[in-house]
Structures are given as C-alpha cells and as structure tokens.
Amino acid sequence: MTEHTRLSAADTERTAPTIAPPTIADVYEARRVIGAYLPRTPLHHYPMLDQLLGAQVYVKHENYQPIGAFKIRGGINFMAHLPEDQRRRGVATASTGNHGQSVAYAAQLFGAQAVIVVPENANPVKVDAMRSLGADVRLLGDDFEAAKRHGARVAEAEGLRWVSSGDEPHLISGVATHTLEILEDLPDVDVILVPVGGGSGAAGAALVAKSLNPAIRVIGVQAAASPAAFLTWQARAHREAENRTFAEGLATGAPFMMPQRVLWQHLDDFILVDDDGLRQAVRFYLEKAKTLSEPAGAAPLAAAFQIKEQLAGKKIALILSGGNISPEQLRQCLA
C-alpha cells in the first residue's frame, strides 16, 4: 500500500464515503442494541440556567455515562455490529479522548483488542481512562490529524480493523440515541444545541430531530479556534483549518464527510464560540447546575449565552456531551 493510500485511510473525510449514512430506522435499532448495556441519561431542568438565558433550559447529561461522555453509545453500537472475525483481529482508531474511551470500553465489553492512537499532548485524564479499560494507548503525533495518520499505519501494519471516529454509520446511529431520548422526555422542545468536533453527535441529533419533528431547530457549536467542520458546512465542500482550541473534544483540523452530509441536509444553524466562552460555560455549569463539564461539553451553553436573544422564551435542550476535564483545564476555567 502506498503512502498516499495509507494517509487516505485515516483521512477518509477527503473523499465521499462509500457507505451510506444511517437512517432513523438505524437509530431505533441502535437504541435496542445499546439498551442492553446502558441506562438512559437524565434530562434535567435548571431554573438558574433559565435566569441566565431567559429561556426554559434542559440539560442532557451525557457526562453521567460510564466513560463520562456520549461517545460510549456509538462505541457499543459499532462493536455489537462488528463481525466476530474482525473482533478477533482487533480494532485501531485515533482519538483526542472520548471516542477512544468509547472504543476501549466497547472492546473490553465484547472481548476485543483495541489500539488507540492519541496526540502526544492528549488529556491525561482520558489517556488514563483508556488504559484502565485495557486499551493499548499510543501517543503519536502533534495533533489529532497526525494521530489519525499514525493510527492508519498501525491498523495496516498489525492487521486491525480501522475505526474512523466520524465516518462510521454505526457510531452516528449509536450517539443519535441521546436525541431520541430527549424527544421522548421533552417532545415540545424548540431548540437543541449540540457540540461539533468530528460531527457524529451533531449529525445524529439533527437526523433524529428532523425525522421526528422538522419544526425543531438544531444548532451545531464548534470552537472558533478549530473551525474546519463549520467551514465545511458553510461551503458544502471539504475545508481544513487551523486547529488551536484547548478543548480537545472540538479539536479537529479536517472534517468527516459522512456526518457533514447529514448536517448539510438537516442542521439549521452553526455557531462558533471562542475558548474564553467555553471556559465561562464550564463555570456556568458548576455554578448554575452543580455539574462538571469538559470544555467541549460546555459548548452548547456557551453558544446559548452568545445568542440568548434568539432563544428568549423558548424551550431548549443543551447536550452536555462529556465531563472529562483535566485538573489543569479546570484550573484554567476557574482562573
């Protein structure tokens, strides 16, 4: 296999996916699969956030998942559908943390080997969590894009099944179940705000909301310091960008095209928030909701504060995608 081909294995976002994105029927099937392993996460209403935003605010607590993040839904759904011979060979992926934890958790659950390649500056809380789940964690590359390239080489060299963190339909349909639960608990929700890193969570949220009630507005939120997904959504074409945010869950320098195509069809709006806004939103969650969010998980709250005039009087759901914040990040947010 040539160098170009190896890099393309990790950077599948450069070309159109050959596998179709999931449908709402796939999300219902994913819920059936995941239900055997995970309980529902709560959707809590917070009057202090109501006062802050001038809206009725509900928070979907994916930070309460066993790995502290929504990605576990996709990892379990993916591994449950993986053929047994591929499970025996093992899997490899690249991650900034939460996707890697989900693959590690699901691999342990189904008795598979998992190699997770992470950037050399990865969140140590997430790295330790992946290792505690039995994964072979390798710190390779300066950032996520470099980690993907290294991960593709590892998969090829060791005969492992490569797991893209974005262009895998079972991952998208799995994480989409968080929005299915939101609509079951709060069917009259007006607006759902969801973080965008690779885009699987936002694609799943938009797919479910628009399939079940097209009147619901779905808004994606990305870090202004790492805007590749936003630029791709805006241009309806692949765009790369600088990747400088401190919020590793949003730190992607290139888009994944399978979730992008779902977002092009279903996402109503896309907002960029700066890193200071993310830090402020982590503090808001601590002060107003007594809950711990990582910076990426706080992105919807940061965006809601930024556009609160548009949300006034509306019933909104914020997807708090994860709570895996490092002590150093927390100190920065509280400083």
Positions marked active-site: 71, 321
User: Which residues, in sequence order, are CB contacts of 240 under 8 Å at separation 6+?
Assistant: 228, 253, 254, 255
CA neighbor of 64 nearest in space, from 289, 222, 328, 300: 289
The answer for residues whose C-beta is within 8 angstroms of residue 36's C-beta and 6 or more apart is none
Q: What is the CA radius of gyration of the chain?
A: 18
Three-state SS for 45?
A: strand
Closest by CA to 330, choosing from 287, 295, 288, is 295
What is the number of H-type helices and E-type strands within the chain?
A: 17, 10
* Position 206, amino acid: A
- Crossing angle between the packed helical segments 228-235 and 257-266, to the nearest 10 degrees: 50
CA distance 80 to 106: 8
Contacts of 271 (CB under 8 A, 6+ apart): 219, 220, 221, 222, 303, 306, 307
Torsion of the alpha carbons at 182, 277, 67 and 179, rounded to the nearest 10: 10
Single-letter amino acid code for the residue at 70: F
41 vs 36: CA distance, rounded Å? 14
